[in-house]
A and B are shown apart, each in its own frame.
Chain A
Amino acid sequence: MSGVELRNVTKAFGKAVAVRNLDLTVGKGEFLALLGPSGCGKTTTLRMIAGFTRPDSGEILIDGQPVSSLSVRERRVGIVFQSYALFPNMTAFENIAFGLRVRKLPEEEVRSRVFRLLEMVGLEDKANANCRQLSGGQQQRVALARALAIEPRVLLLDEPLSALDAKVRNSLRFEIKKIQRESGITTIYVTHDQEEALSISDRVAVMRSGQIEQAGTPWEVYANPSSLFVADFVGVSNFLDVEVKAGGTVFWNDRPLEVEGAGSLAPGPWRLVIRPERLLPVPKDAQEKNILEGTVAGRVFLGPIQRVALDVGKERILVDLLNTEKGHLSPGEPLRVSFSPGDGRLIRRS
């Protein structure tokens, strides 16, 4: 049984179609990231699952049960918002207890459950703190605990970390993942941050214009993007316009390249996608395949790596070098890089 299933769901606001014939299945206990640029329909999708927005057509199932006729209250979904949405006139304890008290649970059970949740999110000592006194990261922990308190069938997170600074974001990211794994709750996590999506989820669904462009494990989506959009949106890519000739030879500006799988492709214009970290520096006298030689146009220092802009002929490509590989590269210096035939991916140019 799937945790959440969307069947042919469409939603339009006026003339703008936000979600178009969307099919999506999230396994029970699975952590799915809905990744896409703003306006791609990911939040609308989330809101339809929660019940805030009614789909124009199609069906939504939670734990195999159609929920179209159920109100938000009846769906038992936990939601975490970007703005935390804590009740400001209540303490951390009261916020988490809200859903339990609404359900008229005995106060003793409410207390023990809330304290268990506070412990889980590491805020045992903040039970009586007013929400305004908590930091952004702490507030979002309370919001997470509040959503989990009702033991939801699905946990929905709408850009929960976007309002936090980078350091808190990173630590909270792994905490959310850990809590999700322990509780085993089916989770859908909406984000526009590809790094966040890749690092936190079991599976990533990349959305574009109201549809799923590609869904797969983070590794699959990153290593084998099914479209130019995915290759461009997820991570950084070099796009080389190449010609595939009969027999599978690939030419980039009359330079022959060897790319795995080119032999089975129709001859014509294709685009070669190579990740910058797959371009490895080679010595001057090396005889590797697919050597690209150019001059350094500039570089950006990113901590563990330096990203080098390399001018090869008239085109510019990006190369990521580990900090240990090369020393300081200055503009104008020559650099030779190569990629293995298995690291390039050909996508049809349209």
Chain B
Amino acid sequence: MERRGWKFLLLLPLAAVLGVFLVLPLLFVLFDSFWAAGRLSAANYLLVFRKGLYSEALRTSLALSVSTAFIGAALGLPLSYLVHRSRAPWRDLLLAITAVPLTFSGLVIGFAFIVLLGTSGFITMLLERFFGINPLEFSAFLFTWKGLVVAYLYFLIPRMILTMVAAWSNADWSQVEAAMSLGASFPTILVKVLFPMLGPSLLAGSSLLFAVSMGAFGTAFALTGTAVKILPLVIYNQISDVTVEVSRANALAIVLTVVTTLVIVLYERSFARKQA
């Protein structure tokens, strides 16, 4: 018993860090989110769901995150297979290149997209020159939430690739070969063997993509300022605008945290059940 006590002592530094930098601030935010007009109330939350701006922000954030999770998974899956199947020196090189976008700050990525696809961006001008496409019309989409989907995919697809490369390496290929020998066609193998085999990783990757999209700030801010109403930008608005509404920002932050955590928990749950 004494020995076990010692082991728990080793967890103390971690517990202290998590307590001071995660639990405590979160509690402050939670407490303050219930503070409106000088007293405890749920007014801030009612606002989040009633006021057009806030509920729109929640909807747009969800649309953005679901889209990036789906498209990121759909594009990341085949790409991860290509990386997995590439030969020795190329594989390492591809993995290194894949990791690069993850190191960029959101601002850098936002600026890169303006330089490429903005009104006077490189690709926009090429399109105008050769296809006569109106640069203003073309680049307008970049500053909408759909444009954010494209920009986010730049740093989300690599996350999906890295998750799935690990899944491909752990895959039991003899299951696929067994199915082939039993006469299964490729679509059957895909549905009955590959998807159940890779499904958990695909779900893990997608929920990661979803969570990152929900919370991402830098890229959206650099691209659109606060023009596109998504939760992180709206939260920013509440504390930087002329009218400072810290409690309201806190309520929004809690909503964001809950939605993101819910997705992760749901994933963990379904995965745990599959494992049992």
Q: Which residues of A contact B (CB under 8 A)?
A: 50, 52, 71-73, 75-79, 81, 83, 85-89, 98-99, 102-103, 143, 146-147, 149-150
Contact = CB atoms under 8 A, between A and B. Distances in A.
Contacts of B82: none
B38 interface: no
B180 interface: yes
A102 B172 contact: no
A87 B177 contact: no
Given A83-B172, A83-B174, A88 B181 contact: no
A102 to B, nearest CB: 5
Given A76-B183, A147-B181, 10 more contacts: A73-B180, A73-B181, A73-B183, A79-B178, A85-B172, A88-B196, A98-B184, A102-B182, A102-B184, A146-B178
Contact of A99 (B174, B183, B197): B183
Contact of B184 (A50, A73, A83, A143): A73
B178 to A, nearest CB: 4
Contacts of B177: 50, 52, 72, 79, 81, 85
Interface stretch (B12-20, B148-156, B185-193): B185-193
B179 interface: yes
Contacts, number: 64
Nearest to B196: A89
B175 interface: yes
B172 A99 contact: no
A102 B183 CA distance: 7
Contacts of A146: 178, 182
A73 B188 CA distance: 12
Counting contact residues on chain B (CB < 8 A from A), the size range is 10 to 19
Contact of A72 (B181, B188, B193): B181
B181 A103 contact: no
Nearest to A99: B182
Given A87-B192, A87-B193, A89-B196, A98 B182 contact: yes
Interface string B56-79: 000000000000000000000000
A78 B177 CA distance: 11
Nearest to A52: B177
A85 B183 contact: no
B38 to A, nearest CB: 57
A150 B182 contact: yes
Interface of B: 172, 174-175, 177-185, 188, 192-193, 196-197, 274
A72 B177 CA distance: 9
Nearest to A47: B177
Contact of B183 (A50, A81, A87, A150): A150
A73 B185 contact: yes
A87 B181 contact: no
B176 to A, nearest CB: 9
A30 to B, nearest CB: 20
A76 B182 CA distance: 7
A247 B259 CA distance: 95
Contacts of B183: 73, 76, 99, 102-103, 150
A73 B181 CA distance: 5
23 contacts: A50-B177, A71-B180, A73-B181, A78-B181, A79-B177, A79-B178, A81-B178, A85-B177, A85-B178, A86-B175, A87-B175, A87-B178, A87-B192, A87-B193, A87-B196, A88-B196, A89-B196, A98-B179, A98-B192, A102-B184, A146-B178, A147-B178, A150-B182
Contacts of A78: 181
B169 to A, nearest CB: 15
A105 to B, nearest CB: 11
A102 B188 contact: yes
Contacts of B192: 87, 98
A188 to B, nearest CB: 14
Give the interface centre of B174, B175, B178 by most chain A CB atoms within 10 Å: B178
Contacts of B180: 52, 71-73
A330 to B, nearest CB: 46
B34 to A, nearest CB: 45
Contacts of B172: 83, 85
A79 B181 contact: yes
Nearest to B173: A85
Give the interface centre of B172, B196, B274 by most chain A CB atoms within 10 Å: B172
B268 to A, nearest CB: 19
Nearest to A150: B182
A52 to B, nearest CB: 6
A89 B185 CA distance: 18
A85 B196 contact: no
B270 to A, nearest CB: 13
A102 B174 CA distance: 18
Contact of A77 (B174, B181, B188, B197): B181
A52 B176 CA distance: 11
A147 B181 CA distance: 8
A102 B180 CA distance: 10
Contacts of B193: 87
Nearest to A85: B174
A150 B179 CA distance: 12
